[in-house]
Structure 1
Amino acid sequence: MGLSWQQGPLSAHPVGRFLTPDPLPERLLYAEPLRRRLRVRFGGDWIADSEDVVLLHEPGRYPVAYFPPADIGAGVLEPEDHVTVHRDLGATEWFSVHRGGASARRAAWRLSDLPSYAGMLRDRVAFAWHPMEAFYEEDERITGHAADIYHRIDIRRTSRHLVVRDGNRVVADTVRPRALYESGFAPRWYVPRDDIDPAALEPVERQTFCPYKGLCSYYDIGGRSRAAWSYEEAWPEVHLVSNYVSFEPDKVDVWLDGKQLALEPGQSVVPHGIDRGFDVDEVLAHT
């Protein structure tokens, strides 16, 4: 989640609202300098390397990075006879991308008929995530999708009493859970393994990937599919929940300080869509 994804302030279904006397436009776009070095790799080579990237936030998408032409390698872009229309920003010209014997059609684009108010994007080129080999900030690979500088995760230790039940069976009982607060989402509560009945968790083969937390493993509980999950080896940035387990309150009964929790609207993660979503094998190959 960030400005425009999930329940962000510029998304289609924000969790909050702007306090203005007049209604805002149905769609708000926001562009800003990234102020980080961003690089693109394709065909085994760096095809773009810039400290002058502009990010475009628009509803329902992860941020899109636009590079100045001077920071894109010579011969990388080949214009195509293909033009589409962006619903807010006008005509879009498409390019094939070439480097080192590799090529990809419709792998980059430029907004070619921008309205005057969007001048900071003029002449800039964006690269599609799926065809590119990788995007990097400095020497660190950006995994999953474009990094959203407004996405934040805070983890807090707490002594609140959390109990998880499957009918009459106590699955977990702890006074040392950890609360994970993630931008745009309601809190998620993670329980240490020592406070869980291990026999209640039935591992599921399928894993998923979160760009901010790592590979996620799932568990069935009493026949309830994927009622719990765990980042067994979470990214270092969220190590405080590594190998802890969280539970879906709409599938099992989760009680916090005597109050039963419910799944709040907007908690379901929206698929990546047209932006890059790594599969598990690809993540493992790079970790």
Structure 2
Amino acid sequence: MSLTLGPAPLGNKPAGVFNSEPEREGLLYLEPSPRRIRGIAGGVTVIDSREARMLHEYGRLPIYLFPREEVRTDLLEPSERRTRSENKGEALWWHLRLHGEPVEDGAWEWHDPPRGAPPLAGLLGVKWGALELWFEEDEEAVVHPRDPYHRVDVLDTSRRVRISLDGELLAETDRGKVIFETGLPPRWYVPLDDVREELLIPSERRTGCAYKGFASYWSVLIGDRPEENLAWCYREPRREVAPIAGMIAFFNERLDIELDGQLQARPLTPWSPEWKGERADEAPVITA
């Protein structure tokens, strides 16, 4: 989630209402980042930037762009690929060569942006997956760049949280925690002791979140029917959300949650069974 994605103010499905409707389509916002950003692959520091920019674009996650002098351009080989977008112009692409085979089309530059676009020329983008490690200051960054306008708040709650599916009780607690995260419905985390563990089936699924870390999943047995990947847990979450370590959360979109006896509406998100758009639970693909 970000300033320009999903239910955010400038996203494609804003949750709130403006007094006048802004033009969102094609919107770009380029700003300096105060963070030192480094990207490493094969033991080689490819990027070491103190003057990075962050590009926010309507309907996309933000990305970092770097001045040429802060990128090992000697490791880049020209690619024949060219792409074009109306709001950013033509992109030239490069392969990234380290010790062995090149990473094809691993970097790009919008070398001639159209009139009215932010100053993109001279800034290089590098695909997140082209490098093995990324650091913001001295902390590893995972999955994608973190949006400075994204909040993740973990709060204690004494509300009675009751979670069920098709009348089958899955969990019930009054000592849970709730995460309020930009662009997402509240997620209610339950101590493992308050979950019916006998219904949990370990899953091979793993996902990563730039803000919370890496999650493990469970399917849940309802009668003789397994509901796939319905619950998850961050065993070793990032420091900012450390209180949820080892607790279990369930997809609000796929079951019933009652708070102090009041049934909550199931939110419509990319994790809803009836969602018709693209899924948002994988690492984003950066395209030019």
TM-score (norm 1): 0.86
How far off is 1:102 after superposition? 5.1
Is 1:253 the equivalent of 2:256? yes
Identity of aligned residues (%): 33
Question: What pairs up with 1:164-179 in 2 under 5 angstroms?
Answer: 164-179=163-178
How far off is 1:59 after superposition? 2.5
Which digits, 9 at most, give the CA deviation of each residue in 1:203-251, with x for residues without a partner?
A: 3232322222222222313133333222233222212111111223444
CA-based RMSD: 2.3
The verdict on how the C-alpha distance between 1:166 and 1:112 changes in structure 2, with shifts beyond 3 A counting, is: closer
Question: What pairs up with 1:149-168 in 2 under 5 angstroms?
Answer: 149-168=148-167
Residue 227 (structure 1) aligned to one of 223, 227, 230: 230
Q: Secondary structure at the match of 1:274?
A: coil
Residue equivalent to 1:3:
3
The verdict on how the C-alpha distance between 1:177 and 1:86 changes in structure 2, with shifts beyond 3 A counting, is: same
Which digits, 9 at most, give the CA deviation of each residue in 1:27-81, with x for residues without a partner?
A: 3111110111111223421122111111111123221211111212251223333
Residue equivalent to 2:275:
none
Give structure 2 stretches of 5+ with no counterpart: 272-278
Give structure 1 stretches of 5+ with no counterpart: 277-287
Is 1:48 the equivalent of 2:51? no
Separation in 1 of the partners of 2:219 and 2:159? 24
Contact 2:177 2:189 in 1 (8 A): yes
Contact 1:38 1:49 in 2 (8 A): yes
Separation in 2 of the partners of 1:238 and 1:19? 35
Separation in 2 of the partners of 1:81 and 1:187? 46
Contact 2:179 2:187 in 1 (8 A): yes
Q: Secondary structure at the match of 1:155?
A: strand
Contact 1:43 1:101 in 2 (8 A): no
Question: What pairs up with 1:1-287 in 2 under 5 angstroms?
Answer: 1-20=1-20, 23-101=22-100, 103-216=102-215, 217-222=217-222, 223=225, 224-266=227-269, 268=271, 270=280, 271-275=282-286
Contact 1:7 1:266 in 2 (8 A): no
Contact 2:156 2:178 in 1 (8 A): yes
How far off is 1:148 after superposition? 1.8
The verdict on how the C-alpha distance between 1:168 and 1:73 changes in structure 2, with shifts beyond 3 A counting, is: closer
Separation in 1 of the partners of 2:51 and 2:211? 24
Contact 1:75 1:98 in 2 (8 A): no
